[in-house]
Structure 1
């Protein structure tokens, strides 16, 4: 019997993290009798006097959110990282190591209205969000070694506030995901004298199997090594090490790209598609003066939905004890997303 990647189990390698994922496409045929979620098509008011992200509302900290008209940034009232604090004691015991962790956490509101999202905004308004991301990266990156911009969309992904916003956690340390990527991107560059992800862009453009969307500046694919069923990666067609290198043309094209990605996600199951998304680029802070040609700025979307708006992928059992596993192949997931309209359903 000849191997068929759409029917037979196999392993796929993720060169960014130097790890394997098990792909079991035959399991897509199994019936589902597990947990079923409630579809997310929540009706959100334009203004909610109890929503702390709305203009003019007093937050739990006692601070008042100003009457902003575009993007608005503030320091998180309940941050996971603080700029100051006592240092932990050093330990010589290899089994009980502690290190310093300092930083800051900020929130960016995309728009003053709660009932809008990226697909509802103009391209100019989305560009304003992108420029705020870059402003924050540049500001915090002067002091902190890692600036993580991320967004959790939907209650299924832990977002308890129905308002268009994201978060930024900046830290003195390099988090695990960034550290692992830095090692593998560097090793690839030293071996092949090319940025890994720019080579990956070329291969995906040649193969045309996992492309979800592209324009002159950006490529969106379901990565060959994707873990989540409808995971996507946003990649530049021109090499850029950090977000701050984006020019006006790239910013505008990225705004369109983000609107299309969200529309395709929402159209897939006719719901407000939940996900966590974020951006990775070369480390900042003390690394700003380092030469980092091995890094390519890129974005990632990690949505949990699997078969419908009510059934999600669980990372349990084998995934926690062995390695990641998926049923739907990256190629089939890309085809399903690619076929969706670029404008969100009404």
Structure 2
């Protein structure tokens, strides 16, 4: 399937969604053009940043003088653990056209580093390891109470990130989010039909073909998935039988730190800029009776298309019909493979 240089559709087996691929619209050699770094250089410490060590946040809360990661309950979280007025839903007559349900949960913010000006690709593997340890410990704690725990990061103003200080979030709730529920059903159906793990089989196929592989080590694989919708979308998936974040061993976490640094450096080096994206981990539901069909994985959805300032807009046909892309997954993977693994700022 490495010569699909004509208009066709590809199916995402995790969601059942289709993407329209139109490689003839972008079937020209990659020029390798890069943009100059955009924006002003950030300081190591910003006295006005609510995430920097020692600074004040909402309601006169002050951050400690933290040295690596720092976690706090989101001051403006979208979910709360307890709320009033929920009796109205229980008493209301549910109509199939007007269904509603209670959504209780908790939102946390994770600062990756005390340094205001260092995003993941600029951290050392040891520093990234501390982020991973923090992800894991918070996941384990929240999974004791909630069925669905989302660990994610929005990077860059273009992705709606309101603070440049490197940070991510964790949202936890008892209901299954739409994306996790769909992936749960499709992975279960695949295993029931084929007797094997969907993403386990996918890892084996991608490693054998190599066309869409961006990076890999003993424990992890990064590919531009066959069904990618965003131009430089990637899938980071565990090679072994890991079903949720709480199961990661020290060796797997060390390898994850290395491959996260490599992938995010490759991203930044495509256009010599701080590459924006939304990324997030998908784990098996915490309260699942059987999670053998699951494989821990993370999705990276970066919007940039041709430069640091030109993004892919999911509008029109994408909003009203289905996703469409010009740059093939194979070409995107080749571009990411061929950029340097030394961060562009190290040459400044």
- Give the superposition deviation at 1:194: 1.0
Q: Does residue 323 in structure 1 map to residue 322 in structure 2?
A: yes
1: CA distance between counterparts of 2:17 and 2:319? 14
Task: Give the TM-score taking structure 1 as reference length.
Answer: 0.93
Deviations 1:196-242 (A, max 9, x none): 00000000011110000111111100000000000000011111111
Deviations 1:105-125 (A, max 9, x none): 000011111011223322221
Task: Give the TM-score taking structure 2 as reference length.
Answer: 0.93
2: CA distance between counterparts of 1:224 and 1:205? 13
- Give the superposition deviation at 1:60: 2.3
Q: Does residue 161 in structure 1 map to residue 163 in structure 2?
A: yes
2: CA distance between counterparts of 1:111 and 1:303? 22
Q: Does residue 208 in structure 1 map to residue 210 in structure 2?
A: yes
2: CA distance between counterparts of 1:109 and 1:159? 13
2:154 to 142, 152, 155: 152
2: CA distance between counterparts of 1:144 and 1:38? 44
Q: Does residue 27 in structure 1 map to residue 29 in structure 2?
A: no
Quick check: 2:220–2:238 contact (8 Å CA) kept in 1? yes
Deviations 1:132-160 (A, max 9, x none): 10001100011111110110111000112
Counterparts of 1:34-183 in structure 2 under 5 Å?
40-85=38-83, 86-87=85-86, 88-89=88-89, 90-183=92-185
Quick check: 1:210–1:221 contact (8 Å CA) kept in 2? yes
Quick check: 1:49–1:57 contact (8 Å CA) kept in 2? yes
Question: What is the aligned partner in structure 2 of residue 230 from structure 1?
Answer: 232
The DSSP-based 3-state class of the residue aligned with 1:197 is helix
- Give the superposition deviation at 1:38: 10
Quick check: 1:13–1:20 contact (8 Å CA) kept in 2? yes
- Give the superposition deviation at 1:29: 6.2
- Give the superposition deviation at 1:41: 4.2
Structure 1: gaps (5+ residues)? 31-36
Deviations 1:297-338 (A, max 9, x none): 001110000111111000000011111111100000000001
2: CA distance between counterparts of 1:40 and 1:275? 16
The DSSP-based 3-state class of the residue aligned with 1:114 is coil
The DSSP-based 3-state class of the residue aligned with 2:215 is strand
CA 1:231–1:172 in structure 2 vs 1: closer, same or farther (change >3 Å)? Answer: same
Question: What is the aligned partner in structure 1 of residue 188 from structure 2?
Answer: 186
Deviations 1:2-26 (A, max 9, x none): x9513x1000011100121100112
Question: What is the aligned partner in structure 2 of residue 217 from structure 1?
Answer: 219
Question: What is the aligned partner in structure 1 of residue 32 from structure 2?
Answer: none
The DSSP-based 3-state class of the residue aligned with 1:105 is strand
Counterparts of 1:232-251 in structure 2 under 5 Å?
232-251=234-253
Structure 2: gaps (5+ residues)? 29-34
* Pairs aligned (count): 334
The DSSP-based 3-state class of the residue aligned with 1:312 is coil
The DSSP-based 3-state class of the residue aligned with 1:308 is coil
1: CA distance between counterparts of 2:125 and 2:103? 38
Question: What is the aligned partner in structure 2 of residue 274 from structure 1?
Answer: 276
Quick check: 1:91–1:98 contact (8 Å CA) kept in 2? no
Question: What is the aligned partner in structure 1 of residue 338 from structure 2?
Answer: 339
Question: What is the aligned partner in structure 2 of residue 9 from structure 1?
Answer: 7
CA 1:246–1:57 in structure 2 vs 1: closer, same or farther (change >3 Å)? Answer: same
Pairwise CA RMSD = 1.6
1: CA distance between counterparts of 2:67 and 2:182? 39
Quick check: 1:27–1:327 contact (8 Å CA) kept in 2? yes
Misfit runs of 4+, over 4 Å: none
Question: What is the aligned partner in structure 2 of residue 295 from structure 1?
Answer: 294
Question: What is the aligned partner in structure 2 of residue 264 from structure 1?
Answer: 266
The DSSP-based 3-state class of the residue aligned with 2:253 is helix
2: CA distance between counterparts of 1:108 and 1:203? 35
2: CA distance between counterparts of 1:50 and 1:275? 24
